[in-house]
Amino acid sequence: MNSHRILFHHAPHSRSTSTLMLLEELGAQYDMHVMNLAAGENRQPAYLKVNPMGKVPAIEHRGGLVTERPAIFAYLADLFPEAGLAPGLGDPLRGPYLRWLAFCGTCFEPALLDHLAKRPGMPVGQCPYGDFDMTMATVIKQLSEGPWLLGDRFSALDILWGNALAWAMSLGIVPRHDVFEAYVARLMARPAIQRAADQDAALSRAQMLAAA
Ligand SMILES: N[C@@H](CCC(=O)N[C@@H](CS)C(=O)NCC(=O)O)C(=O)O
């Protein structure tokens, strides 16, 4: 493999779908290694050698491995500055951009999963996300100022968050709030995002047919 080419480890209909959308929106050239999670392909030794967590998404580039969507998004968006999906160093929006990347992984997802599993919360002062209602209110307030998380500026953040909110609404973990619905619809109306969604659905269908 040319180590300068991006190798994207993907499984359709998963958190990895957001990375496929980002790569398409960036206009990146990449190779894709597709796995079937239901068949346990991500837990085979060959992939565990790449990512010991067996998780997707993962990116290999220039001999390095990048896992965890906030890191993958930060890495890829910086790699293609001409796409304009990441405020650069020195841009006043750089701080808020990093804040919301981190917020997704360190506050939003843990809050959702604790809520879904009905795990009793820790005291607000010790819980990294405070509590579920505080986390959701913070996101709703930010998105209400929209149209995007950084206001008028569309960025890689919106692909990460649009996917996370669509997933959370489809599972009924967060309410189908008007602000969330409109935000996800704006994201899905973008041609590159739609292209990636269609590609992901075709991969998912092919896996289901192969299993039938
Ligand atoms: N913290 C990771 C989470 C990745 C993750 O949980 N991926 C799931 C797919 S939705 C996965 O790979 N599950 C398969 C498994 O663990 O066997 C991220 O944000 O990228």
Tens digit of each residue's pLDDT (9 = 90 or more) over 43-77: 999 999 999 999 999 999 999 999 999 999 999 99
- Report pTM: 0.97
pLDDT above 60 for 2 = no
As a whole number of angstroms, the distance between CA 124 and CA 16 comes to 31
Q: Pairing relation of β-strands 6-10 and 30-34? A: parallel
Tens digit of each residue's pLDDT (9 = 90 or more) over 7-43: 999 999 999 999 999 999 999 999 999 999 999 999 9
Q: Is residue 178 part of a domain?
A: yes
CA of 57 from ligand 1 middle (Å) equals 7
Q: Which of 18, 52, 84 is the last residue of a domain?
A: 84
- Ligand 1 pocket test: which of 10, 35, 55 has the largest number of ligand atoms within 8 Å of its C-beta? 55
102 and 66 in one domain? no
176 and 139 in one domain? yes
Tens digit of each residue's pLDDT (9 = 90 or more) over 118-153: 998 789 999 999 999 999 999 999 999 989 999 999
pLDDT above 50 for 160 = yes
CA of 92 from ligand 1 middle (Å) equals 32
CATH code of residue 116? 1.20.1050.10
Which residues line ligand 1 at a C-beta cut-off of 6 Å? 14-15, 37, 42-43, 54-57, 68-69, 105
Domains: count for the chain: 2
Q: Give the residue from 197, 211, 200 showing the smallest Cα distance to 41.
A: 211
Q: Is residue 143 part of a domain?
A: yes
Give CA separation, 177 vs 12, 74, 94, 203, in Å.
Answer: 26, 27, 28, 30
Q: Which of 84, 114, 136 is the last residue of a domain?
A: 84
Domain residue limits at 106: 94-191
Q: Is residue 208 part of a domain?
A: no
CA of 104 from ligand 1 middle (Å) equals 14
pLDDT of the residue at 3: 62
Tens digit of each residue's pLDDT (9 = 90 or more) over 90-112: 999 999 999 999 999 999 999 99
Tens digit of each residue's pLDDT (9 = 90 or more) over 191-201: 999 999 999 99
102 and 61 in one domain? no
Give the torsion through C-alpha atoms of 205, 7, 106, 168, to 10 deg.
-10
CATH code of residue 66? 3.40.30.10
Residue 210 corresponds to which tokens in the numbers above?
């192969």
Furthest CA-CA distance within the chain: 53
CA of 56 from ligand 1 middle (Å) equals 5
- Ligand 1 pocket test: which of 13, 36, 47, 56 has the largest number of ligand atoms within 8 Å of its C-beta? 56
With cut-offs at 50, 70 and 90, classify the pLDDT of residue 1.
very low
Q: Is residue 206 part of a domain?
A: no
Crossing angle of helices 156-170/69-79, nearest 10°? Answer: 150
Residue 172 corresponds to which tokens in the numbers above?
């009924």
Q: Is residue 201 part of a domain?
A: no
pLDDT of the residue at 4: 84
pLDDT of the residue at 120: 82
Q: Is residue 149 part of a domain?
A: yes
11 and 74 in one domain? yes
Point out the ligand 1 atom lying closest to the alpha carbon of residue 109: 19
